[in-house]
Structure 1
């Protein structure tokens, strides 16, 4: 375990909340949930169900099709589709757990519901600089993923005997996807110790890999090819690159949620590139994703200029400017960061 920021009294309190009598529990991942968010929610949900709780997962919006193969029977509601039922479920819940985000605004239109919840609430997350919106906060940025953190939290409070294959495959998925299939955020041995224990439950990593990375639509693959061929710009003098996609282009390729997942990583495969950006035009903003190598701070870059944040090598944000204005802004910022980019060690 690498639990450094959370005192034993917090774990004692969480244990008392979760190990009292079984009740209704709601687990909420962040908006546009990725593999770690959904994997963490399902993984923890399965454990709590095995203990005896009645668990519902409510996602602010839909998530990618390649994350809908899990062998869980927990109901996952999409809030933007079933707001009335979701609100009713939350009102009747005795415990609220937020996973893989640390600011209520990351739950989008569910923000007010989360901050207004009057019964015990728990936040479990691995992103830095948490907001104080839950009764019990477990914030541990040194973890590779929230899924890895949940494994250790569950063990710490004595619920690890309730980990089954369904929870293990979900937590494994969270760790695998948030580390880019074990390519970054893997310097701590604890990550592999947790993975080994999850595999020990009998899950099949090869099957999980295939379900996540070999389960895309043909249109998604064509969109990727188009982006790499037509929309990727390389700035060798800055050791940087970017990909940008307009709403019109997304429509042409019949974009589905999750289709651009991982696109931001591809430019980092180019020799000597240490910083990559992906800009996607939405109806009222431009979504920004950043990835870096070595010690270049993608998170502080995103926080300063794109109202975002994240980890050192993986961050996200947004721009209220047009796509073209955002692209130009990024080009200009590269000049400002040239000295840092050139001396970044891989």
Structure 2
């Protein structure tokens, strides 16, 4: 059983022992990665610590409004600066991931660093890459875990608007605004505290969910109309997008966010997949309802992982061959899918 008090005490002692702290989020960061990273940053800077933040690649547009986001150094845009930050750090906190490959091009530098390393995460199957692993998959998000740990360290919930906004974004994005994920009454009590602290819920929801371009809306319509296949016999629907599709609709990073969830609203569908063609591989996102474990599916067939009902993976072949392979492994899982929901 996860011992929150024990791990919080160990983390607090590390915060007291080190001055140069580097907070690192994962490649292709989502709202929970950036939310939990910024929440930790707000608390540690309030406590007078010297804190830097780094991310392997660019943030999505809907996350850049949060206070402190402009202070996150992007490795692929400023390698020299980021390598120095890694070298200068005596404590590195790896946030919302548990595998070295999620560090992207910064992997070698972070892993080779002599700094003490801590993982704060909520994903399954962590790799042995840190001195201290703080991981609880029962939490709906890393942001929820960060909120609880900071409240214990602080002696009471930390009252700071930017901190609260960051935690809120982390929780709502990792649960699809409470449409999926392992959120609980504990999660909702935290949300109540955040709302009581004075955050502007409607403003945040509009920035995160209602701030799309015309091209993105047209890409969504095209994806549902021309690129979605429904396989009722497998309780499955998948959407695929080619590089040309993305180009035709002036795709920018983050435009396909949420597409994979939409087929689950079809009656009788309990497994949804989004396949996006990249330069040398295909990126896949998986969502499910019920007990079909998409994290196990992703790990077994597509070099991926994640949560029971939300995960991702990759396949290093053409889009056409990836779809053929997907259909093959789908047949292997037909019985599980029939009994999944």
Measured against the shorter chain, the TM-score band is over 0.9
Per mean C-alpha deviation after superposition, the further-off stretch among 192-201 and 207-216 is: 192-201
Q: Distance in 2 between matches of 1:132 and 1:169?
A: 31
Q: Are the equivalent residues in 2 in contact too, given 1:57–1:74 (CA < 8 A)?
A: no
Q: Distance in 2 between matches of 1:280 and 1:329?
A: 15
Post-superposition Cα deviations, 1:182-241, rounded to whole Å, max 9, x if no partner, equal: 111245211111111222221111111001001111111111111011001001111100
Post-superposition Cα deviations, 1:315-334, rounded to whole Å, max 9, x if no partner, equal: 10000111001111112222
Q: Are the equivalent residues in 2 in contact too, given 1:179–1:185 (CA < 8 A)?
A: yes
Q: Are the equivalent residues in 1 in contact too, given 2:150–2:157 (CA < 8 A)?
A: no
Post-superposition Cα deviations, 1:65-105, rounded to whole Å, max 9, x if no partner, equal: 11111133761111001000111122222321111100111
2:275 aligns to what? 279
1:13 aligns to what? 10
1:32 aligns to what? 28
TM-score (norm 1): 0.94
Q: Aligned match of 1:183 in 159, 166, 179?
A: 179
Q: Distance in 2 between matches of 1:13 and 1:292?
A: 36
1:201 aligns to what? 197
Deviation at 1:44, TM superposition (A): 1.1
Distance 1:73 1:102, change over 3 A: closer
2:64 aligns to what? 68
Q: Distance in 1 between matches of 2:183 and 2:70?
A: 33
- List alignment gaps of at least 5 residues for structure 2: none
2:44 aligns to what? 48
Q: Distance in 2 between matches of 1:31 and 1:214?
A: 24
After TM superposition, the structure 1 = structure 2 runs for residues 108-127 of structure 1, keeping only pairs within 5 Å, are: 108-127=104-123
Q: Are the equivalent residues in 2 in contact too, given 1:29–1:60 (CA < 8 A)?
A: yes
Q: What SS is found at the alignment partner of 1:271?
A: coil
Deviation at 1:128, TM superposition (A): 0.5
Q: What SS is found at the alignment partner of 2:115?
A: coil
- List alignment gaps of at least 5 residues for structure 1: none
2:302 aligns to what? 306
Q: Distance in 2 between matches of 1:187 and 1:230?
A: 34
Distance 1:7 1:261, change over 3 A: closer
Q: Distance in 1 between matches of 2:279 and 2:72?
A: 26
Matched, 1:212 2:208: yes
Matched, 1:316 2:301: no
Q: Distance in 1 between matches of 2:4 and 2:209?
A: 38
Q: Distance in 2 between matches of 1:266 and 1:295?
A: 18
Q: Are the equivalent residues in 2 in contact too, given 1:46–1:74 (CA < 8 A)?
A: no
TM-score (norm 2): 0.96
1:99 aligns to what? 95
Aligned residue pairs total: 341
Q: Aligned match of 2:162 in 166, 170, 178?
A: 166
Q: Are the equivalent residues in 2 in contact too, given 1:268–1:275 (CA < 8 A)?
A: yes
Query: What's the Cα RMSD here?
Result: 1.6
Post-superposition Cα deviations, 1:145-176, rounded to whole Å, max 9, x if no partner, equal: 01101111212333655441101101100000
Q: Are the equivalent residues in 1 in contact too, given 2:175–2:183 (CA < 8 A)?
A: no
Q: Are the equivalent residues in 2 in contact too, given 1:240–1:275 (CA < 8 A)?
A: yes
Q: Distance in 1 between matches of 2:83 and 2:305?
A: 29
Deviation at 1:118, TM superposition (A): 1.2
